[in-house]
Structure 1
Amino acid sequence: MKIAMIGQKGVPATYGGPERHVEELGRRLVAMGHEVSVYVRPYYGQTAQEGGFLKEYLGMRLYTLPSIRTKHLDAISHTFLSTFHAIPRGMDIVHFHAQGPSTAAWLSRVGRSRTVATVHGLDWQREKWGRLASAYLKLGEISSARWVDGTICVSRTMTRYYEERFGIHPAYIPNGIRMPGEVGSARITSQWGLERGGYYLFLARLVPEKGCHYLIQSFRRLKTNRKLVITGGGVYTDAYVQRLRSLAGDDPRILFTGYQYGEVLEELYANAYLYILPSELEGLPITLLEAMSHATPALVSDIPENLEVLDGVEAPTGRVGLTFPQGSEE
């Protein structure tokens, strides 16, 4: 089959849950003999090469199309342009990722492609969106349930939400990860002076719903020689990132690394004393899965999506990881 992936920022995946999801799903569909096309935004990751953009990755065909790069128009402009591009190419399935991009699903149905929407989170709940944007994302939620041939949810919590809200029965397909091999620490030691067990790790996008502000305020009251490593960057949230830096102040123990990926990312996960995720809103957190795959202990807020990950790991001691009340700084 010919399958198009639309809504993600692109691959190779450098940051973002949907992007890692698409990369892992796409490469496996290719291995099964399907033709997979992934639509990419020109600014994302490592897609730009000498003489143009990367055309293929892990057997997936990459189409790099422009977007209107503003907070409110980036995703929607790229999604609709990608959908118009896919229609005449005879796609058997057009797979939309996230609620917002699902608003374009009706176009694919006009073009006689089957449509699938994977819901990675209840995006209209995110704090960064105003009234108009939230209303549009709620339209995307309706579209992801009503205007597609199939709906997929990555967590049981969202699956129940869609069942109760729309009376449908989405497919529950949780996020997955590749298990890592042995990992050293040479790169993070050379770059930042980090050593095994010498730091707490927060790794996520720097957006309000991830709760990094709670963590910084709590950490600054903690008497410890360990560092707090904050890995990630903003997504049209410059004011929030500046707020985090202001909260960190001149505390030499707090380190902002920006986005990291590849072997450096693996080392950050593997050598952390504790992985901390104080989020207010999640889909099914891939970063938590990745941290746990490195046998790194986890401390997470007690929202249902985080608990779903901890409770889903079979261990003789019961739940793996520790929790705290969402929004708490204690």
Structure 2
Amino acid sequence: MTQQSSPEHIPATGSAPGRRRHIVQVTPNYPPLLGGLEQVVQILATRLAARNDVSVVTTDNKADGAPHRAVEAGGVKVRRHRALTVAHTSLAPGMFGSLLRIRRGTVIHLHCATAVVPEQVWISARIRGLKYLLHFHMEVDASGPLGRLLPFYKTHLFGRVVRGAAGVIVLTESQRDFLAERYGVDPALVHVVPNGVAEEFFLPLRAPSTEPATGSSPDPLRLLFVGRLDIQKNVARLLDAMARVTEPVRLRLVGDGDLRQALQAQASRLGLDDRVEFVGRKHGEDLVKEYEDAELFVLPSDREGMALVALEAMAAGLPVLATAVPGNIETVQGVGVLVEPTPQALATTIDSLARDRSALAAPAAAGAARVADSRWDRVVAAIEDVYEQVGF
């Protein structure tokens, strides 16, 4: 049986190495593009820059006019290469030139979630005789008309990229096992470092809800989703569930994405305009307030790596209801509520929790306890320890 890993399993670390490193974070996408991987890379880059020289090599995919060269928060140098997006993949030929110019002794930290960018790092490293560290965020499923090529790509291209890395960072023990089984990666080269949670999301546990007085109507149960409105998150499944819910509930959808208009049309078609609210992207205190005001966090995804939003919800004292799919299982199992990835399963559980809100207290407390030590400073120290072990 595969051992499950949870966010609290961040390796114990000593003091961070004293020498200053040159680090290049290579990622297909970067903020302002909205997404968990992009946020992780930005957080790591900014925090690592406190005691290292850090650059980011990425694309301008959905960069909303951000400059192609910039020095951003913390002194991080960001180089965004012009890209064309095909089948959810950013193609940026100019990135290869930047990779070829990386100087020896640099930590090349590659973040993997899409095709092409990993292969550029692999080829440039072989040409230059350099090594790289691969950060595996999640296994991506096929989508779109070119999805039929994905099995060939994984076997004959991506497998070589993973096996060619000097070390691999994964989020869970399950991912370590998966890489060994699927790609033949030596488990001794794989380091488990879960994602972290920013300090502002840690809120005091709220008092459990009480049942309404006899004869009174309960206020609607306040549901919250935070994330990209795209295929992977499958908010359409959550809307279909809302159409089946019979108890009084309200859902706030925080985020934006390519599917927003289609999802708004779906909500209207299902008669949910008075129960579902699309509120767009939220940041900082506004996002914290969304977690603070909600009663139940819902994640209807098809697949995750380790969803930052689920960790943030737990830190904020919110119980988490998620689909039982890879990534969600490792993150939520034992502390939240997992259901089959169907609208009916989500609707049945939402109705049950809306009828008995006292059942929300236990998963809220368990989730908060699980992420209590999952702060980003601890994660960054663990990653610097990995750099040391890999020999950077």
8 Å contact kept, 2:69–2:77 = no
Distance, in Å, in 2 between the alignment partners of 1:97 and 1:182 is 27
**Structure 2 match to 1:25:** 44
Offset at residue 27 of structure 1 (A): 2.4
1:25 partner amino acid = L
8 Å contact kept, 2:70–2:77 = no
Partner SS for 2:168: strand
Offset at residue 305 of structure 1 (A): 2.1
Partner SS for 1:210: coil
Which residue among 32, 51, 55 is the counterpart of 1:37?
Answer: 55
**Structure 1 match to 2:329:** 307
The correspondence of residues 63-212 of structure 1 with structure 2, limited to 5 A, is 63-68=79-84, 70-72=85-87, 74-75=89-90, 77-78=91-92, 80-90=93-103, 92-99=106-113, 100=115, 101-104=117-120, 105-123=122-140, 125-128=141-144, 130-132=147-149, 135-136=152-153, 139=156, 141-165=158-182, 166-169=184-187, 170-180=190-200, 199-212=222-235
1:65 partner amino acid = H
Runs of 5+ consecutive residues of structure 1 not aligned to the other structure? 184-195, 312-318
Partner SS for 2:153: helix
Establish whether residue 215 from structure 1 lines up as the match of residue 235 from structure 2.
Answer: no
Offset at residue 244 of structure 1 (A): 2.5
Offset at residue 161 of structure 1 (A): 0.5
Offset at residue 209 of structure 1 (A): 3.0
1:148 partner amino acid = A
**Structure 2 match to 1:285:** 307
Deviations 1:24-53 (A, max 9, x none): 22223222x32110124335457737xx86
**CA gap 1:262/1:85 in 2 versus in 1, 3 angstroms:** same
Q: Determine what percentage of the aligned residue pairs are the same residue.
A: 23
**Structure 1 match to 2:279:** 257
8 Å contact kept, 2:240–2:343 = no
Distance, in Å, in 2 between the alignment partners of 1:110 and 1:20 is 30
Offset at residue 167 of structure 1 (A): 4.2
Offset at residue 204 of structure 1 (A): 2.1
Distance, in Å, in 2 between the alignment partners of 1:157 and 1:102 is 22
Which residue among 335, 339, 343 is the counterpart of 1:324?
Answer: 339
8 Å contact kept, 1:197–1:273 = no
Which deviates more, 278-287 or 146-155? 146-155
Deviations 1:237-256 (A, max 9, x none): x4xx4543333114221112
Offset at residue 97 of structure 1 (A): 0.9
Offset at residue 144 of structure 1 (A): 3.5
1:3 partner amino acid = I
Partner SS for 2:199: coil
Distance, in Å, in 2 between the alignment partners of 1:162 and 1:45 is 31
8 Å contact kept, 1:29–1:36 = yes
Distance, in Å, in 2 between the alignment partners of 1:21 and 1:10 is 9
8 Å contact kept, 1:106–1:148 = no
Runs of 5+ consecutive residues of structure 2 not aligned to the other structure? 1-20, 204-218, 346-392
Distance, in Å, in 1 between the alignment partners of 2:220 and 2:57 is 39
Partner SS for 2:282: coil
Which residue among 60, 73, 77 is the counterpart of 1:61?
Answer: 77
**CA gap 1:260/1:133 in 2 versus in 1, 3 angstroms:** farther
Distance, in Å, in 1 between the alignment partners of 2:157 and 2:281 is 28
Distance, in Å, in 2 between the alignment partners of 1:120 and 1:207 is 17
Instruction: State the TM-score, normalizing by the size of structure 2.
Output: 0.68
**Structure 2 match to 1:192:** none
Instruction: State the TM-score, normalizing by the size of structure 1.
Output: 0.80
Offset at residue 89 of structure 1 (A): 3.7
Deviations 1:190-235 (A, max 9, x none): xxxxxx9863111222223323222111112223443211222335
Distance, in Å, in 1 between the alignment partners of 2:79 and 2:37 is 17
**Structure 1 match to 2:377:** none
Distance, in Å, in 1 between the alignment partners of 2:256 and 2:142 is 16
2:72 partner amino acid = E
**CA gap 1:245/1:71 in 2 versus in 1, 3 angstroms:** farther
Bigger Rg, structure 1 or 2: 2
Paired positions, count? 300
**CA gap 1:111/1:197 in 2 versus in 1, 3 angstroms:** farther
Offset at residue 94 of structure 1 (A): 1.8
- RCO (CA 8 Å, sep 6+): is it higher in 1 or 2? 2
Establish whether residue 269 from structure 1 lines up as the match of residue 291 from structure 2.
Answer: yes
Offset at residue 73 of structure 1 (A): 7.4
Distance, in Å, in 2 between the alignment partners of 1:243 and 1:46 is 21
Partner SS for 2:49: helix
Distance, in Å, in 2 between the alignment partners of 1:73 and 1:283 is 17
Partner SS for 1:63: strand
Which deviates more, 16-25 or 196-205? 196-205
